[in-house]
């Protein structure tokens, strides 16, 4: 059973920064991709950013230039650095690990950006 443990959420003022962390119980290189999604109550979960095995990254248009996804292969941890946060970034953020057959999810961490 793969476990993803997220940390780093919280309350921040608009314009501030937060860094989310997601540590896996297995090597992150075992997964085709790792990513961050976010969800606002009553709406679908949406991709924020992801990184594939080669290191290629992809971002939602709404966060390009403000968020950066990175990984530490030794610590089996994926990070999401979030800068210039906006109130519309408020959501529960979920870590995702995709093996190509199964998608694993973390428990979610709340990010709240006040105006």
Phi then psi for residue 42, to 5 deg, are 85, 0
What pLDDT does residue 1 have?
86
Tell me how far apart the alpha carbons of residues 16 and 90 are, in angstroms, rounded to a whole number.
12
- DSSP β-ladder status, 10-13 and 109-114: parallel
Question: Coil, helix or strand for 87?
Answer: helix
Each residue's pLDDT expressed in tens, for the chain with a length of 115 residues: 899 999 999 999 999 999 999 999 999 989 999 999 999 999 999 999 999 988 999 999 999 999 999 999 999 999 999 999 999 999 999 999 999 999 999 999 999 999 9
């Amino acid at each position: 059973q793969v476990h993803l443990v997220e940390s780093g959420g919280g309350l921040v003022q608009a314009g501030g920064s937060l860094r989310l962390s997601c540590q896996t119980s297995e090597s992150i290189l075992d997964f085709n991709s790792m990513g961050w999604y976010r969800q606002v109550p009553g709406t679908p979960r949406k991709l924020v950013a992801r990184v594939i095995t080669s290191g290629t990254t992809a971002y939602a248009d709404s966060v390009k230039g403000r968020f950066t996804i990175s990984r530490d292969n030794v610590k089996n941890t994926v990070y999401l650095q979030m800068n210039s946060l906006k109130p519309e970034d408020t959501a529960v953020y979920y870590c995702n690990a995709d093996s190509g057959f199964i998608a694993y999810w973390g428990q979610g961490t709340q990010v709240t950006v006040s105006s």
